Structure 1
Amino acid sequence: MRLNEDPGAFEAFYRRHVDAVQRFVVRRVSDPHVAADLTADVFLAVLNSADTYRPGRGSEVAWLFGIARNVVSAQHRKAAREAKATGRIAGRRLMDDDDVARMEERIDAERQMRAAWQAMADLPEGERAVLELVAIDQLTVSEAAAALGIRQVTARVRLHRARRALSTVASPSTVYLEGQT
């Protein structure tokens, strides 16, 4: 991809995927300021690693969600370190009222999916990662495998195990997760 060399190509890529990235992020964080920052960080990481995309390994969406997952995971690790060191995270970047309102609307719209994501917290990391990408972010098993850097058969096994573990939890959000392919 020539995203880091061609501003027009990057703009088109950004417009094609910004909504999907925002949905991905707001399912995993509830603060609109952090969600906006992480969305921007994902696209900055895209620019920095555009030369690593290999179409033969998966779709650009799978590659992008792999980057988004790494950015969000890094944020969670950073927040945990800061919380431990300071006892609480302080300071927020300024957003205008319209930006905050739009981000809050997205967060509200994804509230049920965040609840489902929280129900998956007890799953092993590998199983949870595949289930998130397939059931919540609606990637194919092949795309999820590419995003996680694992074989497709491994992704299918992990997805099966995750769904089997969630079958004991009866809530509307987990029923949704169990029914997706």
Structure 2
Amino acid sequence: MGRPPPLTDPDRFTAFYRAHVEAVLRFVTRRVEDPHLAADITADVFYAVMQSAASYRPQRGEEIAWLYGIARNQISNHARQHAREAVRRQRLAGRRLLDDQDIERLEERIDASRAARQLYRRLQQLPEAERAVLELVAVDGLPVSAAAALGIRPGTARVRLYRARRALRADTGPAPSQEPLWEMT
């Protein structure tokens, strides 16, 4: 964590990608149902990483928190610009098409993440600031200190996390899996 990800060297970027692609893909598939979209957003995350590697500051948090912040932005951008993105993606040439095995593997991941997506839908009722902290801590398993990915201080994150947990307990009862939301991984 001591220095920015060394993404100018292709071999080091490959190692960085391999070290983090599974975590990013899990993050995305908990929020997206379409396997093509999950693959596209994951690719967009690492493209954004290459473009913004110089902005990574180790003192603000771990690499995975930085990646999750980028992934959240990519998912939000897609939601806001769905129609324009669909047209742009159709115009792109030279992208690798997913074969049947790729689709099958992504569908398996999506099926495996179905319960998490149901929980995520419940989270949509929370205020955005509280939901973002709860997602990073409870869903993605990062410490409260990773709040830097959201641009807030750990103390602020603790307050928002408390409010989110309290709201979920009061409004929705136990999570569909019968485990409290903050204990799910």
TM over 0.5: yes
For residues 94-150 of structure 1, give each alpha carbon's deviation from its aligned partner in whole angstroms, at most 9, with x where no partner exists: 41101100100110111111000001111000000001111111111111x111010
Deviation of the 1:153 alpha carbon: 0.6
Alignment match of 1:27 (pick from 30, 42, 54) = 30
CA distance in 1, matches of 2:182, 2:124: 15
Structure 1 stretches of 5 or more lacking a match? none
Name the Cα RMSD after superposition: 2.1
**1:61 equivalent in alignment to 2:64:** yes
CA distance in 2, matches of 1:26, 1:50: 24
CA distance in 2, matches of 1:133, 1:2: 21
**1:160 equivalent in alignment to 2:162:** yes
The farther-off stretch of 164-173 and 23-32 is 164-173
Q: Report the counterpart of residue 112 of structure 1 in structure 2.
A: 115
Deviation of the 1:172 alpha carbon: 3.2
Q: Report the counterpart of residue 80 of structure 2 in structure 1.
A: 77
Q: Report if aligned partners of 1:121, 1:128 keep a CA contact under 8 Å in 2.
A: yes
Q: Report the counterpart of residue 182 of structure 2 in structure 1.
A: 178
Q: Report the counterpart of residue 6 of structure 1 in structure 2.
A: 9
Q: Report if aligned partners of 2:145, 2:154 keep a CA contact under 8 Å in 1.
A: yes
CA distance in 1, matches of 2:177, 2:77: 26
Structure 2 stretches of 5 or more lacking a match? none
Alignment match of 1:36 (pick from 39, 56, 63) = 39
Distance 1:112 1:156, change over 3 A: same
**SS of equivalent to 2:103:** helix
Deviation of the 1:173 alpha carbon: 4.4
CA distance in 1, matches of 2:166, 2:28: 26
Query: What is the total number of aligned residue pairs between the two structures?
Result: 172
For residues 17-61 of structure 1, give each alpha carbon's deviation from its aligned partner in whole angstroms, at most 9, with x where no partner exists: 000000100111100000000000000000000011111111111
Q: Report if aligned partners of 1:26, 1:35 keep a CA contact under 8 Å in 2.
A: yes
Q: Report if aligned partners of 2:5, 2:56 keep a CA contact under 8 Å in 1.
A: no
TM-score (norm 1): 0.88
TM-score (norm 2): 0.86
For residues 47-99 of structure 1, give each alpha carbon's deviation from its aligned partner in whole angstroms, at most 9, with x where no partner exists: 000011111111111111111111111011112xx29xx9xxx96x8411011
Report sequence identity in percent: 59
Give the partner amino acid of 1:155.
Answer: A
CA distance in 2, matches of 1:136, 1:14: 22
CA distance in 2, matches of 1:180, 1:160: 16
Q: Report if aligned partners of 2:30, 2:113 keep a CA contact under 8 Å in 1.
A: yes
